[in-house]
Amino acid sequence: MDFLADYASFLAKTVTLVIAIVVVLVAVAASRSKGRGKAAGQLQVTRLNDFYKGLRDRLEGSLLDKARLKALRKEQAKARKKDKKAPQDKPRVYVLDFNGDIKASATESLRHEITALLSLASDKDEVVLRLESGGGLVHSYGLASSQLARIRQAGIPLTICIDKVAASGGYMMACIGNRIISAPFAILGSIGVVAQLPNVNRLLKKHDIDFEVLTAGEYKRTLTVFGENTEKGREKFQQDLEVTHQLFKGFVASYRPQLSIEEVATGEVWLGMAALDKQLVDELKTSDEYLADKAKDADVFHLHYAQRKSLQQKVGMAAAISLDGVLARVWERLSQQRFWS
């Protein structure tokens, strides 16, 4: 009992202290953010040629003897001097990343990256998107796809690289590319639409709980979680899914007319090797291999628009870290108490 009392007192004091600190930080954050707009971000540009060169230099330094390494460095220095005297007008490759969640949250950064590169890129350049997404909300991935369509409309070649997965909304984005390159075992396809929701109406009725759904408009609500669903509502809901599916198929077919759309738009997925046979992709290769080859003859730049966190977000992260620390100390004390006893 003494242990429980000590533990409860320790926990109460610690939690109270953390809450007090968080309240003060939130108040400070709120006061400082008054009158400010949304936190701006920053475009980060990395030259991947330098990255690949650094890897090669490191390996050469480890494997070659001093004499051979010295001779190689002299030869490379001469080549650099020659390039400076007669610089070549190399094409540029702009590399973007899209790691999709159900809401396609990465679209916020993608739109700024595309706006930036379109201000400078020409039809002699190329955009490479490393895409990873299993899909999500229709309207969210519709917007992400529309951002990629801006590149096609500008006449700039767009290559989509898929190392792991581009399914459903992810493939909606991928199909916009002039070329789609996939790793052999990446997952592709799922050209279909799905919606699911539970219904607890019978459970509510069992416990004599009424739930009213009032609408203005015959189809304002079709299926609900709490209300009693009707066959007419189900038919309308299914009809809406079919309409969305037809739009999805038409969108994919417009960018990849070589597809047998009815054959691939069944909601199925295929691994890269099978997807190549279905013409869902154009080539089997990893993004690393593709970009390393490009870096031999072009200047390759990675673009990333980093969103700046607001003060409130930073405070929230600090609070989460503090809470983790509290729980760790509580667990440590609890473990020690058990050990000592």
Residue 304 φ/ψ, nearest 5 degrees: -145, 120
**Catalytic choice (34, 66, 220, 296):** 220
197-222 CB burial, b ≥16 within 10 A, e <16:
eeeebeeeeeeeeeeeeeeeeeeeeb
Active site residue 78: no
Answer whether 174's CB lies under 8 Å from 222's CB: no
Long-range contacts of range 8-14, CB-CB < 8 Å, 24 or more positions apart?
Answer: 10/330, 10/333, 11/330, 14/326, 14/329, 14/330
DSSP 8-state assignment for residue 277 = H
Active site residue 33: no
Rounded-to-integer distance, Cα 174 and Cα 215, Å: 39
Closest to 53 measured CA to CA, from 44, 65, 63, 61: 61
Contacts of 255 (CB under 8 A, 6+ apart): 175, 176
**Catalytic choice (168, 182, 190, 287):** 168
User: What is the residue whose two structure tokens read 């690393």?
Assistant: 288
- Residue 258 CA: distances (Å) to CA of 48, 251, 270, 276, 298: 33, 13, 17, 12, 30
Other residues' Cβ atoms within 10 Å of the Cβ of residue 93: 24
Rounded-to-integer distance, Cα 204 and Cα 121, Å: 60
138-165 CB burial, b ≥16 within 10 A, e <16:
bebbbebbebbbbbeeeebbbbbbbbbb
User: What is the residue whose two structure tokens read 């609500």?
Assistant: 221
Closest to 113 measured CA to CA, from 160, 48, 45: 45
Rounded-to-integer distance, Cα 190 and Cα 168, Å: 5
Q: Which two tokens stand for residue 311?
A: 């003060």
The residues annotated with a catalytic role in the active site are: 168, 220
